[in-house]
Amino acid sequence: MSDETRNRLAGVLGPAGPEVTCEVCFDELDHFVELELAGADAEAAVPGMTAHLEGCPACAEDHAALRALLEAGA
């Protein structure tokens, strides 16, 4: 099976582990980013968030914007 086929199949099947919804992402994003910036294991605190951010362009954009904002303010 080619890498392209694997990537397409993974996109259809979604992540193997837990994944949060956009609503949960919105509720937990501040906490998740704060943990990331502190060097803590943010994924352990909010299981599935990384998978959601990898698969949801809108939430990934919010994550990047919030992280940039907090990094600039630090």
CA distance 61 to 42: 18
CA distance 51 to 56: 9
| Per-residue buried b or exposed e for 60-69, using 16+ beta carbons within 10 Å of the residue's own CB | eebbeeebee
Q: How many domains does the chain have?
A: 1
What per-residue confidence (pLDDT) applies to 74? 67
What per-residue confidence (pLDDT) applies to 66? 97
How large is the average pLDDT for residues 21-33? 95
What per-residue confidence (pLDDT) applies to 63? 98
CA distance 66 to 15: 24
Helix, strand, coil distribution of the chain in percent, nearest 5? 75, 0, 25
What per-residue confidence (pLDDT) applies to 60? 96
- Give the residue carrying structure tokens 């996109």: 11
Express as a percent the part of the chain with pLDDT over 90. 66
Q: Which domain holds residue 63?
A: 3-71
pTM of the model: 0.76
